[in-house]
Chains A and B, each alone.
Chain A
């Protein structure tokens, strides 16, 4: 069964709630008890804030949601030697390997975004990321030979899914890294757990780079979220309700050296991305916003707007340090209280643009 672990988490939470006498699904309107917790996991700080019927319900729900995130980290981490992902990366490639359902699912979704972006989003780019990371530590650019050698290891097309839960890596040097999608996937799974605990109003934050909103705070239409603004002049804001936002930007340039490059590598040419934009992306799920923010940063505003056209309920804003900005939307609205006429170009998809 594909989702047995998820079902397990749901059942655990439901029974825990029943045990403490809180499993009332009729009382959503009275969800006013605010509970907030944070936890360090996946190399960042996860925060969850809920409005629940009682503090105990909120606290229990958050604890269960964090357990789910930790469980997923144990599957998807490339730092942990014993994670399912590390085992897959270490396995003898070129033959099918069975993987846990969640790992299969997140790789499946990753490949969807790779196809959607024609390879700009690629979970196999890790060898090149590691090459440039090592170069940054040593202060020297990697040789062209090294770059070419590792580019041959990169390509989402060589990841083959064999339902229901087997994966074949069709390149001997392929390595998978879920860093650009894993936190979003974990937030979506945590939201499922919260719902199973009877919680319908929550804001979930994965280190500020991906935020997922469930419902809205009591008496409010949505959760207001300030967006990243490198120019510190536009102060963009969105109102999230049952959708998610993610932000991506390249590492800021070194103050002391021109040789240091950013952490986001373009799979198309194997080189560190050069951009002064930060991009924020609103999408229906955290998995989607997480994957698409990296993708839209790599695509840039011009090509990125085309992608926004074909994904329903999506919006994006690119902002540079000098205050240039571009927007696109197929539904959600981005508020720009400080935008001046002519400074910001925006695009809104018409319904017939949405495929």
Chain B
């Protein structure tokens, strides 16, 4: 085994131990949206109906005020301040600490976590992922430096910015903590920075909720100020926002597991992030696995494995075993020497060779994935038709995430429409379900949808998906109900 690889596994193992230790008390079973407040005053929690606020560590007066107003206050600490934190300052006012690591290396983050843990032993400690993007349907018109509106590099592909891939990486690489992320609002094509509108806030909440991640949501200063000045439009917007928060809180008590039939093996974002991002965008259901976690048992639930990490000897054996039983394996940027190289092979493209191994095959791509869009479509084509978990039509701006309920036959599908405009979406999902019920934050649970069963799949049409929607699927004798109903 190459020394570099051994070091990598050891480092990952140590990091995992550290993270489990530091973040154990911070784990949370459901999505939380923490609102970031920056103005010096804050309305009482009893009137906003919001529980959690994030306030800068440096704004100690605001932390006290927010606490006095009834909020659970999380103090956000920039990593460069972590080492100099005064011990036990305003401890009683805090519900937790959030470390903003900026662009720091993992070793620096580990050190900062140690410092914080030693200063604030009992407080939950969360690490923020700052690499997320504003979820949105993206256009192509941009303002250049000279102020002229311009279209850049036209292509035919509509585009959405989604954080699903990032969340899946976080879930795999920081398993002890529910992913917690933030993003900065973008100004789009406009020359002037624009405040987000309510739809943008709702989409952000919908995305975090659907992906079962935690989000720090920046409220614009104008929104905060309007709330303080009792502006009715702002309070109406806040009520809409709360409706979305409640919508995702409803599902909190359920033990849901994201479904996946493709295993993506990666140890870093490098070289793999964009291909994984495109898998997510094409509604291909995948799970990210670390190379150190692999075994033949790990692979059992998958039909396809995609390796972005170089397999070691142990993993090479597991790969060969998986393929021999009928699985398909794709190795990106593959240059090693492997046992299956003695098997019958044939070039399948200019840069790919396919090896027949038992009932399955192993495809080696000799270069990194240079066209992630094409690669994602290739992976979808590799899937046998009867193994596709979910397909959507008329839904290029929609991401659907199917979850299995407590390992039982029932499923829940969370849907997010980045176009923020009502869509009629056709869905085909693997399995037979006679009870299909649909709910949205805007309408109370639940509308029964008619379905058709065909070739091992259930098909139905979602009448109107604006931003967030949820489908409960169950067999004849079962129904899946929102918690607490």
Contacts and interface: CB of A to CB of B under 8 A. Distances in A.
Interface stretch (A9-17, A102-110, A204-212, A324-332): A204-212
A49 B189 contact: yes
Given A36-B190, A39-B419, A136-B381, A256 B330 contact: yes
B150 A224 contact: yes
Contacts of A251: 374
Given A38-B139, A45-B159, A223-B149, A256 B382 contact: yes
A260 interface: yes
B349 A207 contact: no
Contact of B348 (A44, A47, A247, A256): A256
Interface stretch (A189-197, A225-233, A340-348): A225-233
B177 to A, nearest CB: 34
B397 interface: yes
Interface in B355-381: 363, 365, 369-371, 373-375, 377-378, 381
B54 to A, nearest CB: 30
Interface in B314-346: 330
Contacts of B150: 223-226
B28 interface: no
B88 interface: no
B107 interface: no
Contacts of B253: none
Contacts of A49: 141, 149, 189
Interface centre among A225, A249, A254 (most CB of B within 10 A): A254
A245 B150 CA distance: 13
Given A253-B349, A255-B349, A255-B352, A45 B149 contact: no
A255 B397 CA distance: 25
Contacts of A252: 371, 373-374
Interface string B170-208: 000000000000000000111100000000000000000
A79 B425 CA distance: 11
A34 interface: yes
Interface residues of A, number: 42
Given A256-B349, A257-B348, A209 B154 contact: yes
B137 interface: yes
Interface centre among B150, B350, B373 (most CB of A within 10 A): B150
Given A34-B190, A45-B159, A49-B141, A257 B419 contact: no
Contacts of B141: 36, 47, 49, 203, 205
Contacts of A227: 154
A256 B152 contact: no
B400 to A, nearest CB: 16
Nearest to A201: B149
Interface in A273-325: 280
Contact of B375 (A139, A217, A255): A255
B351 interface: yes
B219 interface: no
Contacts of B1: none
A137 interface: yes
B17 interface: no
A211 B188 CA distance: 18
B155 interface: yes
Contacts of B149: 34, 49, 203, 217, 223
B421 interface: yes
Given A223-B150, A224-B148, A260-B381, A255 B189 contact: no
Contacts of A39: 419, 421
A324 to B, nearest CB: 19
A203 B151 CA distance: 9
Contacts of B370: 255
A43 interface: yes
Given A139-B381, A224-B148, A256-B348, A47 B423 contact: no
Interface string B135-146: 001111100100
Contacts of A79: 393-394
A40 B137 contact: yes
A255 B365 contact: yes
B378 A254 contact: yes
B158 A207 contact: yes
B477 interface: no
Contacts of B270: none
A167 to B, nearest CB: 26
Interface string A163-177: 000000000000000
A255 B152 contact: no
B483 to A, nearest CB: 32
Interface of A: 34, 36, 38-40, 43-45, 47, 49, 79, 136-137, 139, 203, 205, 207-209, 211, 217, 220, 223-229, 245, 247, 249, 251-258, 260, 280
19 contacts: A36-B141, A40-B158, A40-B396, A43-B394, A44-B158, A45-B139, A45-B397, A47-B141, A49-B189, A137-B381, A203-B141, A224-B148, A225-B151, A225-B154, A247-B156, A253-B374, A256-B382, A257-B378, A258-B349
Given A49-B189, A209-B156, 9 more contacts: A36-B190, A39-B421, A79-B393, A203-B149, A211-B154, A223-B148, A223-B149, A254-B349, A255-B375
The 9 closest A-B pairs by CB, nearest first: A208-B154, A40-B419, A47-B139, A36-B189, A256-B378, A45-B158, A209-B156, A38-B139, A225-B151
